[in-house]
Structure 1
Amino acid sequence: MFEACAADISDVGEEHGYRVLRVGSKVVLVPLPPAVGRAIDRAVGERYNGPVLLNRRGVRMDRHCTTRRLRALSEVSVVRLPRMHPHMLRHTFVTTMLDAGVDMRDVQIAARHADPRTTMRYNRARKNLDRHPNYILAAYVASAT
């Protein structure tokens, strides 16, 4: 979330037919799904430079503003949510990818975790024996015979 606060309009671009956002000091290109691209377009409006996300005073949104906005949104949500904070969005991003079966290495890259053990902490299924690699390997071997 804080990378989104740091994003400038000039960081949004196109690479190989994909809309991307350049983030971080080591430039990383993050592909933007169409819905995210449309949300960025709405946030930017007619502006051509400056921050993507603005607060009510028209200046760059900071982490404190982000936290307040997220909590306000959770209070009006029809779904009862715990006390929200920006890291919950990151946690949901990582755990949902893992639950969907995205490869652990791909999740690690998407989350920009330097150490795979950090990504593993989010894996709720690590104790689920049905998804143990032994079963995946056995199914693969059985299908080849």
Structure 2
Amino acid sequence: MSGPVVPVASRPAAHPVLAAGPVDFTEAWLVNRRLSEHTRAAYRRDIAGWLGWCAGADLDPLTATFLHVNAYARALEASVDARTGRPLTPATVARKLSALSSWYDFLGKLRAVDANPVSGADRPKVNRDHSATVGLTPEEVDALLAAADADTGPTAARNRAAVALLADLGLRVGELVSLDLADLGAERGHRSVRFTGKGGKPRRRALTPGTAWAVDAYLAERAAAAGVGVAELTGPLLVTATGGRLDRHAVFRMVRRLARAAGIPAWAKLSPHSLRHAFATTARAEGVPLEDVQDAMGHADPRTTRRYDRDRHNLDRDPAYVIWSARARRAPG
């Protein structure tokens, strides 16, 4: 690996150093933040990638400048995603640099670095109006749910519950697989589920009648197989055949298998996130206010929610029609 064409400085002796160096800093940074385990793992990989690049460039990460970060960013843009076989997208590179910036902010608070080198770096421009996730039409979501209903086998009831939660609540796959039985509850006549969302924020959502039925049917079948009552079940909500927590990779495979059975043309490119996009698009098309969809999806920025709405540029929704109709109603007979 070739390093950046910039001088490598030595770390000032006055800076404190943790026993295990930057890796120790990373764990301290992660512990200091309220994050889901999935997010922690992703951030840990992002920082490990930077530390690996620094090692290859014979660079002390505590002395890196924005020139080094720029060189790293260009290396990322030229690298290939092992999962897709395609170059990393600008959004992926931007996310990795965002994690790195947060890491350096933490080091700055510890006075381990003088400044955040990412703050002056040239980050890739991300089109907030575009998402690479393959979406689903409402009819395709219906077909996917029907395929789950028609599925057979020992995991069919669990899969129906999982797809219902993804489709009706628009959950992130990490949120789905992190659900525990203790997260289910009831509030003011609503069946509900509580979980930790992105950024470590506590969230709660209502279960629709259809989703509640699918969850109840799955738990009843699971309890019967274990020879106990539903109330005696503990641990993860969605489990494997051996009782372990269902992981995100199994959910990806399940969604694609059911999509293929449903005859959805793009089944091989779908992901659980496709159902999250469909949730946002359908909710907005049915007239749910943007603020309510934003809250339901746990987005801090409404622009993120708008990006999930695949139908936002449909001319049927142009406000010019509403204004014209109102003017026509005001016109004298």
TM-score, normalization: structure 2? 0.40
Is 1:136 aligned to residue 308 of structure 2?
no
Cα 1:135–1:5 shift into 2, 3 Å = same
Equivalent position to 1:32, from 192, 207, 226: 207
Q: Does 1:61 align with 2:246?
A: yes
* Paired amino acid for 1:113: H
Aligned length: 145
Cα offset, 1:77, TM superposition: 1.9
What letter corresponds to residue 90 of structure 1 in structure 2?
R
Single out whichever of 10-19 and 122-131 deviates more from structure 2. 122-131
1:2 aligns with 2:174: yes
Residue 180 of structure 2 contacts residue 236 of structure 2 at CA under 8 Å; is this kept in 1?
yes
CA RMSD of aligned residues (A): 2.1
Query: Match of 1:126, SS?
Result: coil
Query: 2:195 — aligned with what?
Result: 23
Query: Which one has a bigger Cα radius of gyration?
Result: 2
In the superposition, the TM-score normalised over structure 1's length comes to 0.85
Alpha-carbon contact 1:67-1:85 (below 8 Å) kept: yes
- Answer 1 or 2: which has greater strand percent: 1
Check if 1:109 corresponds to 2:281: no
Deviations along 1:6-33, one digit per CA (max 9) or x if unpaired, are 1111100000010000011432220000
Structure 1: gaps of 5 or more residues: none
The 2-side partners of 1:16 and 1:101 are apart by 25
The answer to whether the aligner puts 1:118 opposite 2:304 as a matched pair is: yes
What one-letter code is carried by the residue in structure 2 that aligns with 1:107? V
* Bigger shift: residues 85-94 or 20-29: 20-29
C-alpha spacing 1:116/1:85, structure 2 compared with 1 (3 Å): same
1:14 and 2:186 equivalent?
Answer: yes
Equivalence for 1:71:
256
Contact 2:180–2:235 (CA under 8 A) maintained in structure 1: yes
* Percent identity for Structure 1 against Structure 2: 39
In structure 2, relative to structure 1, the CA distance for the partners of 1:132 and 1:13 (3 Å cut) is same
Partners of 1:118 and 1:66 lie apart in 2 by: 24
Aligned residue among 197, 214, 218 for 1:43: 218
Distance 1:105 1:137, change over 3 A: farther
